[in-house]
Amino acid sequence: MAKVSTRELFDAALKGGYAVGAFNVNNMEIIQGIVEAAAEEKAPLILQISKGARSYARHNYLMHLIEAALEQYDLPIAVHLDHGDSFELCKACIDGGFTSVMIDGSHLPFAENVKLIRQVVDYAHPRGVPVEAELGRLAGIEEHVSVSDRDAIYTNPREAKEFVEQSGADSLAVAIGTSHGAYKFKSTPQLDFARLAEIEKALPGYPLVLHGASSVPREFVELCNKYGGQLPGAQGVPEEMITRASKTNVCKINIDTDLRLAMTAAIRKVFSEVPAEFDPRKYLSPARDAIREMVRHKLHVLGCAGKA
Ligand code: G3H
Ligand code: 13P
Ligand code: ZN
C-alpha cells in the first residue's frame, strides 16, 4: 500500500473516537516490530522520525525500510517528522517523501511560533503535506503546581484557537501535563482533562495531539533494573488516562519511551543470562519481539486496533 497522510488518518480517528499511535523509529528492528504489530492488529499507523533519528539512521535508509514494510503489508502508514526544529528540516523531509511534518516552535514567543509555522505550511500544503504545531510547554503536573502556574505552562484554550487560525496548522500538540521520557511525575500522575475539554470546545472537530504519552510500565522498568539497569522512580502516564484521551479529539498519541524500555529490557536480559552471546541477531531478535508485543498492547489502549 502507498503511504498515507495524517490528514486522512485523523479524519477517520475523529469520526471513530480513537487515536492513532505515532511510534518513533530509529532502525530496522524497531520499524519491523511496530509494523508487524499493526499488521497483526489491523491498525492504522504513524511512523515518526525525529531529527536525531534521521541523523542516526539517515533519511534514505529509514525511508527504504518503511517502503519495504509498505510493500509487505496492506496497511495505511503515515511517515511523520517528529519535533522538526527548522523550516529547512521540514522542507528536506517533505521533499524526501514524508507525508506529515511537525514544526515545533513551542519554545518561541506566540508570534514567532506562528510565523515559523506559516512558513512551513506555505511550503507543505501545496505538496499535500499536513503540518503539526505545538503550543504550551510539556511538563508533568505536580500537586504543588497552582492553577495560575498551570495557565503559564499549559496550552491556553483561547490562545489555541487564535494560534490555529493564524498559523494554518492542521493539528495541534497540547500541553496538559504529559512530558517526554521516563520521569514524568514525581508524585501522583495527573492530566488536566478539564483544560483538554476547553481546548476541544474552542476548536471543535479539530485534531489534537498528545506527546509524552508513554506509560512507563512498571514491569519493564523492573526488568531493566533486574538485569543491571538503573531507572529508579521512573513513572509515566497511566494507561487509563491514555485511553480516556484517545476518546476525545486527541487523534495522534506519541510513544517512544515505552518502546525504548521494552527493547532495552530484552537486550539486557540476553546479556545478563547469556554473557557469552555476541551474535547481534540473538539479542536484536528478542528486542524486536518485545517491541511488537508492546505496540500490540498500545494499539488496544488507543482503540485503533481493527481500524485499518
Ligand atoms: O520526543 C522525542 C522523541 O522521544 C524522540 O527522541 O530526539 O532522542 O530521537 P530523540
Ligand atoms: P514519550 O517519551 O512519553 O514516549 O513521548 C514521545 C514523544 O512525545 C515523541 O514526540
Ligand atoms: Zn514529543
- Which tens digits make up the pLDDT trace of 238-287? 999 999 999 999 999 999 999 999 999 999 999 999 999 999 999 999 99
Name the residue of 20, 134, 257 to mutate for ligand 2: max ligand atoms within 8 A of Cβ: 257
What pLDDT shows up at residue 232? Answer: 94
Share of the chain above pLDDT 70, in %: 100
**147-159: average pLDDT:** 88
Are 185 and 166 contacting, i.e. CB atoms less than 8 angstroms apart? Answer: no
**97-108: average pLDDT:** 97
* Ligand 1 first shell, C-beta below 6 A: 24, 50, 52-53, 82-83, 180, 256
pLDDT above 90 for 149 = no
Are 259 and 280 contacting, i.e. CB atoms less than 8 angstroms apart? Answer: no
What pLDDT shows up at residue 5? Answer: 97
Strands of the chain, DSSP E: 20-24, 45-50, 77-84, 100-103, 131-135, 171-174, 208-210, 250-255
Task: Using a cut of 0.95, tell me whether the model's pTM lies above it.
Answer: yes
| pLDDT band, very low/low/confident/very high, at 142 (cuts 50, 70, 90) | confident
What pLDDT shows up at residue 91? Answer: 98
What pLDDT shows up at residue 1? Answer: 80
- The identity of residue 266, as a single letter, is A
Can you tell me whether residue 221 is helix, strand or coil? helix
What pLDDT shows up at residue 189? Answer: 93
Q: What are phi and psi of 154, to 5 degrees?
A: -90, 170
C-alpha cell of residue 94:
517533505
pLDDT above 90 for 140 = no
**134-142: average pLDDT:** 86
Torsion on CA atoms 181, 183, 184, 190, rounded to nearest 10: 140
C-alpha cell of residue 29:
528492528
**148-158: average pLDDT:** 88
Calculate ∠ Cα 23-28-34, nearest 5°: 35
What pLDDT shows up at residue 141? Answer: 76
Dist. CA 201–CA 127, nearest whole Å: 30
Q: Whose CA is nearest to atom 4 of ligand 1?
A: 256
Q: Assess whether 149 carries a catalytic annotation.
A: no
pLDDT above 80 for 11 = yes
What pLDDT shows up at residue 224? Answer: 97
| CA 271 to ligand 3 centroid distance, Å | 30
The environment of the single-atom ion ligand 3, i.e. residues with CB closer than 5 A, is 211, 254
Give the ranges where 203-279 is alpha helix by DSSP (H). Answer: 218-226, 239-246, 257-273
Residues ≥6 apart with Cβ < 8 Å to 6: 20, 46, 78, 80, 99, 100, 130, 132, 170, 171, 207, 252
Q: Whose CA is nearest to atom 1 of ligand 1?
A: 180
What pLDDT shows up at residue 90? Answer: 98
- Which tens digits make up the pLDDT trace of 57-96? 999 999 999 999 999 999 999 999 999 999 999 999 999 9
What pLDDT shows up at residue 139? Answer: 83
Smallest CA-to-CA distance from 262 within 284, 287, 227, 229 is with 287
Dist. CA 275–CA 260, nearest whole Å: 21
Residue 100 bridge partners (DSSP): 80
Q: Please report where in the chains the cell 503546581 appears, as a residue.
A: 145
pLDDT above 90 for 191 = yes
Share of the chain above pLDDT 90, in %: 94
C-alpha cell of residue 213:
504519552
What pLDDT shows up at residue 146? Answer: 76
**217-228: average pLDDT:** 97
